[in-house]
Structure 1
Amino acid sequence: MERDPLLDHEYDGIREYDNPTPGWWHLIFLGTVVFGLFYVIFWDLNPSTPTMHERHASATVHHLQLKFAGIGELQPDAPTIVAFMHNEEYLPIGRAVFKANCVSCHGNDGQGLVGPNLTDDAWKNVKAIEDIATVVANGAAGGAMPAWGRRLHPNEVVLVSSYVATLRGSKPGMAKQAEGDVIGPWPAFTPEGE
Structure 2
Amino acid sequence: MFTKAVPVETEEDILMDHDYDGIKELDNALPPWWKYGFYITIGVAFIYLLNFHVFGIGLNPTEEYSAEMESARIKKEKYEASNKDRIDEKNVPMAAADGIQAGKILFEANCVACHLSDGGGSVGPNLTDDYWLHKGSLNDIYNTIKVGYPDKGMQSWSGQFTPKQISYLSSYIKTLRGTKPAAPKAQQGEFYVDEVVATDSASVIKPDSGKVAKPDTAAIIKK
TM-score, length-scaled by structure 1: 0.54
Contact 1:77-1:130 within 8 A present in 2 as well = yes
Contact 1:74-1:80 within 8 A present in 2 as well = no
2:101 is aligned to 92
Query: Is 2:85 the counterpart of 1:73?
Result: yes
> Match for 1:139: what amino acid?
G
> Match for 1:102: what amino acid?
C
1:126 is aligned to 135
Say which SS state the counterpart of residue 172 (structure 1) adopts: coil
**Contiguous gaps of at least 5 residues in structure 1:** 1-71, 190-194
Which structure ranks higher in relative contact order (CA pairs < 8 Å, sequence separation ≥ 6)? 1
Let me know the Cα RMSD of the aligned residues.
2.1
Match for residue 103 of structure 1 among 109, 112, 120: 112
Task: Go from structure 1 to structure 2 and tell me whether the alpha carbon gap of 1:96 and 1:182 turns closer, same or farther (over 3 Å shift).
Answer: same
**Contiguous gaps of at least 5 residues in structure 2:** 1-83, 196-204, 208-223
1:1-80 aligned within 5 A = 73-77=85-89, 80=92
1:150 is aligned to 159
Post-superposition offset of 1:141: 4.9
The count of residues paired between Structure 1 and Structure 2 equals 115
1:182 is aligned to 191
Counterpart-to-counterpart distance in 1, 2:92 and 2:153: 27
Q: Deviations 1:27-66 (Å, cap 9, x if unpaired)?
A: xxxxxxxxxxxxxxxxxxxxxxxxxxxxxxxxxxxxxxxx
Post-superposition offset of 1:163: 0.5
Counterpart-to-counterpart distance in 2, 1:96 and 1:78: 24
* Displacement over 3 Å in runs of 4+: 76-81, 186-189
**Structure showing the higher strand proportion among its residues:** 2
